[in-house]
Amino acid sequence: MSIRNLDKMFRPRSVAVIGASDKPNSVGSALMSNLLRAGFSGPIIPVNPKAAAVHGIMAFKDVASLPITPDLAIIATPPDTIASLVAELGSRGTRAAVILTAGFSEGGAAAGKARAAQLLAAARPHLLRIVGPNCLGIAVPSIGLNATFAPANMLPGNIAFLTQSGAMATTVLDWALPRGIGLSAVVSMGDMSDVDFGDLLDYFVFDEATHAILIYAEAITHARKFMSAARRAARPT
C-alpha cells in the first residue's frame, strides 16, 4: 500500500487496548502491564465489557463508549470479533491497529482466510492500517510505547527490528537488553495482512531515530515492492 497513516501506528498520541484484562498470565494483562511500565505519556484506554477498571485505569465497555478516538488500537479479542471492531474504530477515525489475535490466514484454513478478507474489507474504506494479525505487537522505546506482550524490557536506540516471528522478536529482545543494545522500533508483523516489509522499510528509512534496519523474514508478500524499498533503504545518505 504505502506509508499512509503509519505515523499513527508508530507515533500515536493515544492508545486503546481492546481486550485489556487483569487476568493473570493473559495477553490482555501482559499488554497493559507493558504499556504502563514503559511510560507512554498519552492516554492508555482499556476496553473490557466486564470490568470497571483494568490495572487501576478506568475501563470502557466498548468502542462506542470511548471518551476519545484513539490514534492506535491494540486488539486482543477472539478472531470472529475483529472485523467488526476494525470497522467501528475506522468509523470513529482511528487509523492504525495492531491485531495480536491468531486464527486468520495462518495454516491455510478456509475460515481463517475468510476472516482475513473480512478484516481487510473492514479496514480499507477508512484507510486504517493493520499490523498483524497473529503477532507479538509493536514497540517504540523512545516514546515509552511497548504495545507487546513480550516479557523483556527494551532500551531506546537506533536499530529498527522488523520480524514476522514473535518468538524471534522475544529472543532478540532477551539478547539485546543485557548487552545494552537499544532499538528505535520493534515490529512483530505476524500474518502481514496489510503492513508488510516494503511498507515498513519505506517508513523507517525516513525515520530520524533509525540508523539501521534489521529484518527477520520468513516470506515476502510483494517482491517488487520489497526490492524497491530495500534498494532505497540501502542507499548511502
Ordered by where they begin, the domains of the chain are 6-131 (3.40.50.720), 137-234 (3.40.50.261)
Residue of higher predicted confidence among 219 and 192:
192
Return the C-alpha cell found at 24.
Answer: 493473570
**Looking at residue 206, what is its pLDDT?**
93
> Could you give the CA distance from residue 146 to residue 141 in angstroms, rounded to a whole number?
7
CA 36 to chain centre: 16
pTM greater than 0.75: yes
* pLDDT, mean over the chain: 95
Nearest CA among 223, 220, 184, 222 for reference residue 203: 184
Q: Provide, rounded to the nearest whole percent, the portion of the chain with pLDDT above 90.
A: 88
Q: DSSP letter string over 106-123?
A: GGG-HHHHHHHHHHHHHH
Residue 108 has pLDDT above 80, yes or no: no
> Could you give the CA distance from residue 160 to residue 200 in angstroms, rounded to a whole number?
10
Query: What are the tens digits of pLDDT across the range 119-165?
Result: 999 999 999 999 999 999 999 999 999 999 999 889 999 999 999 99
Residue 200 has pLDDT above 90, yes or no: yes
Task: Using pLDDT thresholds of 50, 70 and 90, give the confidence band for residue 100.
Answer: very high
In this prediction, residues 199-209 reach a mean pLDDT of 96
Task: Using pLDDT thresholds of 50, 70 and 90, give the confidence band for residue 21.
Answer: very high
Q: How many residues are there in the chain?
A: 237
Q: End-to-end distance of the chain based on CA atoms, in angstroms?
A: 25
Return the C-alpha cell found at 229.
Answer: 524499498
**Looking at residue 79, what is its pLDDT?**
95
Residue 236 has pLDDT above 80, yes or no: no
Task: Using pLDDT thresholds of 50, 70 and 90, give the confidence band for residue 221.
Answer: confident
Contact between residue 185 and residue 111 where contact means Cβ atoms under 8 Å apart: no
